[in-house]
């Protein structure tokens, strides 16, 4: 929003500035010209009034001269010189009256006074001429009384000049007012022009600042862009319509520059002919001429270091702000290592396929062996155990103590061999069967295993075998994603061992706990207070048929912990044990971090 307002302001700023300049320059000019014309008109009227007053005074002087000449001639007699002067004065009076009438034509009041004055002047002229012709003293006195009494013009001239002086005062005041307005407007226009000039200078300064800032920002942006381009480890080159090099980054120079470090001006001269392939040139030309983008095009070329490489090319057409024609931006990626890795992966996959076939064949052989063990070996064992029992019943009371001992050893060995076969089959199935992953509640699984072990102990106690009290300490356990049957085997073996090897402790304490590691793994532990073992032999614990105690003391086949390790390993975890002789043992196993999304999906 702010960018749009700024753009609109910049767009209208110049027209507004021009309009302000025109108004400030033109309006004062027009007003000054008008008021100057008014001032000149007022001055003209002032001069006109002064001219009217001068004409009036001249007329008054002519009338006085005429009166004086008439009186002089009435006393001294006719005198040609005085008579000529009188006629001359009389002849000048009428033009003066006509001029005065014309000059005051726009003033009705003055015209009335001039009319009266004209009548008086005619009679005074007549009186002056009669006096000049000579008359008796008594007649002369009467004429003089008429001249200065009945036909007096002084008051008329006073009124006329008074009116003109009033007009003169009004016109002078108006002229002064006009001159004052012109001076004030001129000063205001000057101040406005100075303010405008200051505003223009300020705007020009701001525009220059913005232009400088824009140029600096453009330089910085260009520098940043160039720095980014130069820092990019992927080779980049800019080509013109003739496939000439306009610009390239450091990575491109490192890959294709010659021995002297110089980069040729044309693409086909770069890298000892690495770009002379007609297909590449055709593709790049189509990028510029038709706008076709080049995406992930593989090209094998030999670079300036003499190494054959597989390059992945990407090119597109673009327009630069400082050029009218379009250019091609091309990026080059060396995928030789990826291609070699793909080839290596293909070889390994083929090897893996061979290994899988071998494993499949081994599994088939193991299946055959398991079938043989479960059927071919069980039959002789059943025969040995069965005939030993029949022999014991056949001999009956005739069987001596040593014979009974021999038969008991034969039967026990057969039973032990059968247990070994069962455990081997279980161990074999743990490695061959596919896992069925599901949500497994470890708490319920441990409680179920505890119930089975407690039931076995009660059954042994019912047959007269010694039993011991067990104190179970089972902490809250989580739900995990695992194969439930395999996890059941883990808990049966671990808890069964804890119960078995703590049989001589009273009471026996079995602790089951779980905690989450910082990496999100689930760390389970089973601790007992039994006989323990020497950590020197801990490496044998999880091997097949490996035992750290005598079979006569603690029965077993030596396969249970091996089964635990196989199950945990198939779930991606690890297992280990800690112990000391006479201080019990702790067995640990860790399952990988559970994926919450996968867990929720399986639970759903």
The three-state secondary structure class of 387 is helix
Closest CA to 182 of 38, 69, 304: 38
State yes or no: pLDDT of 418 exceeds 90: no
DSSP labels, 247-269: EE-HHHHHHH--TTS---SBGGG
Identify the band that residue 600 occupies on the pLDDT scale cut at 50, 70 and 90.
Answer: very low
Identify the helix (H) or strand (E) that includes residue 141.
Answer: helix 137-145
State yes or no: pLDDT of 3 exceeds 60: no
Closest CA to 73 of 86, 54, 88: 86
State yes or no: pLDDT of 414 exceeds 80: no
Note whether 559 and 493 are within 8 A (CB).
no
Q: What is the pLDDT of residues 331-357, one digit of tens each?
A: 888 888 888 888 889 888 888 888 877
* Tokens describing residue 355: 């290994």
* Beta strands, E only, 356-485: 437-441, 470-474, 479-483
Q: How far apart are CA 22 and CA 411, in angstroms?
A: 127
Closest CA to 523 of 403, 413, 420, 442: 442
Q: What percent of the chain has pLDDT over 90?
A: 8
Contacts of 345 (CB under 8 A, 6+ apart): none
Give residue 400's pLDDT. 76
CA 125 to chain CA centroid, Å, is 108
Classify residue 274 by its DSSP letter: T
Geometric angle at alpha carbon 389, from 386 and 391, rounded to 5°: 105
Identify the band that residue 1 occupies on the pLDDT scale cut at 50, 70 and 90.
Answer: very low
Stretch 567-585: mean pLDDT, rounded?
Answer: 87
pTM across the whole model: 0.40
Note whether 16 and 71 are within 8 A (CB).
no
Give residue 597's pLDDT. 42
Geometric angle at alpha carbon 181, from 177 and 186, rounded to 5°: 150
Q: How far apart are CA 275 and CA 315, in angstroms?
A: 14
State yes or no: pLDDT of 25 exceeds 60: yes
Q: Which of 22-36, 198-212, 346-360 has the lowest mean pLDDT?
A: 22-36
Comparison of pLDDT for 59 and 589, the residue scoring more? 589
Stretch 119-146: mean pLDDT, rounded?
Answer: 74
Comparison of pLDDT for 529 and 188, the residue scoring more? 529
Give residue 489's pLDDT. 86
Q: Domains along the chain?
A: 2-194 (1.20.120.1730), 234-334 (3.30.450.20), 337-433 (1.10.287), 435-603 (3.30.565.10)
The bridge status of strand 470-474 relative to strand 508-516 is parallel
Identify the band that residue 441 occupies on the pLDDT scale cut at 50, 70 and 90.
Answer: very high
Note whether 477 and 443 are within 8 A (CB).
yes
Q: How far apart are CA 43 and CA 307, in angstroms?
A: 103
Give residue 527's pLDDT. 93
Q: How far apart are CA 32 and CA 178, in angstroms?
A: 10
Which range among 216-220, 370-374, 548-552 has the greatest average pLDDT?
216-220
Which range among 73-77, 112-116, 460-464 has the greatest average pLDDT?
112-116
Give residue 373's pLDDT. 57
Comparison of pLDDT for 370 and 62, the residue scoring more? 62
Q: What is the pLDDT of residues 256-311, one digit of tens each?
A: 776 666 777 788 777 777 788 888 888 888 887 887 788 888 888 876 666 778 88
């Amino acid at each position: 929003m702010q960018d749009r307002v700024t753009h609109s302001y910049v767009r209208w700023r110049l027209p507004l500035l021009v309009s302000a300049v025109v108004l400030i320059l033109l309006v004062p000019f027009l007003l000054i010209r008008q008021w100057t014309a008014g001032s000149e008109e007022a001055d003209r009227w002032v001069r006109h009034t002064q001219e009217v007053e001068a004409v009036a005074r001249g007329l008054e002087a002519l009338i006085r001269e005429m009166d004086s000449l008439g009186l002089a001639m009435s006393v001294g007699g006719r005198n040609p010189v005085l008579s000529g002067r009188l006629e001359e004065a009389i002849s000048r009076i009428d033009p003066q009256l006509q001029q005065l009438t014309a000059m005051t034509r726009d003033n009705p009041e003055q015209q009335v006074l001039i009319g009266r004055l004209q009548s008086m002047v005619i009679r005074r002229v007549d009186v002056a001429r009669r006096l000049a012709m000579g008359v008796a003293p008594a007649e002369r006195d009467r004429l003089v009384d008429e001249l200065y009494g009945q036909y007096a013009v002084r008051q008329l001239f006073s009124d006329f000049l008074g009116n003109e002086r009033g007009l003169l005062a009004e016109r002078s005041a108006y002229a002064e007012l006009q001159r004052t307005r012109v001076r004030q407007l001129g000063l205001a226009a000057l101040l406005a022009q100075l303010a405008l000039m200051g505003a223009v200078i300020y705007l020009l300064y701001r525009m220059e600042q913005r232009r400088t800032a824009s140029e600096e920002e453009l330089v910085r942006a260009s520098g940043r862009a160039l720095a980014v381009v130069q820092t990019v480890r992927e080779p980049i080159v800019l080509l013109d319509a003739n496939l000439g090099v306009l610009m390239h980054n450091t990575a491109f120079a490192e890959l294709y520059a010659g021995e002297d470090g110089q980069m040729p001006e044309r693409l086909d001269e770069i890298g000892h002919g690495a770009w002379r392939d007609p297909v590449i040139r055709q593709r790049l030309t189509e990028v510029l001429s038709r706008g076709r983008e080049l995406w992930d095009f593989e090209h094998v070329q030999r670079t300036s270091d003499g190494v054959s490489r597989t390059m992945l090319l990407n090119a597109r057409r673009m327009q630069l702000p400082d050029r009218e024609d379009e250019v091609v931006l091309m990026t080059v990626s060396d995928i030789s290592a990826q291609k070699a890795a793909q080839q290596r992966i293909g070889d390994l996959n083929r090897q893996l396929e061979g290994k899988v076939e071998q494993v499949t064949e081994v599994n088939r052989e193991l299946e055959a062996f398991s079938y043989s063990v479960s059927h071919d070996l069980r039959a002789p064992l059943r025969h040995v155990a069965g005939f030993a029992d029949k022999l014991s019943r056949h001999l009956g009371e005739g069987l001596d103590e040593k014979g009974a001992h021999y038969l008991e050893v034969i039967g026990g060995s057969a039973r032990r061999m059968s247990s070994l076969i069962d455990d081997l089959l279980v161990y074999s199935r743990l490695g061959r069967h596919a896992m069925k992953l599901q949500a497994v509640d470890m708490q319920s699984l441990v409680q179920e295993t505890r119930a089975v072990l407690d039931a076995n102990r009660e059954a042994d106690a019912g047959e007269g075998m010694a039993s011991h009290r067990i104190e179970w300490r089972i902490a809250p356990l989580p739900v995990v994603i695992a194969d439930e049957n395999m996890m059941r085997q883990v808990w049966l073996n671990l808890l069964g061992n804890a119960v078995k090897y703590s049989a001589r402790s009273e009471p026996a304490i079995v602790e089951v706990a779980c905690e989450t590691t910082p990496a999100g793994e689930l760390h389970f532990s089973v601790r007992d207070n039994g006989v323990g073992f020497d950590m020197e032999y801990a490496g044998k614990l999880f091997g097949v048929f490996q035992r750290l105690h005598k079979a006569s003391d603690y029965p077993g086949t030596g396969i249970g912990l091996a089964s635990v390790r196989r199950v945990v390993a198939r779930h991606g975890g690890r297992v280990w044990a800690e112990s000391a002789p006479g201080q019990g043992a702790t067995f640990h196993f860790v399952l990988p971090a559970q994926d919450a999304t996968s867990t929720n999906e399986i639970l759903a």
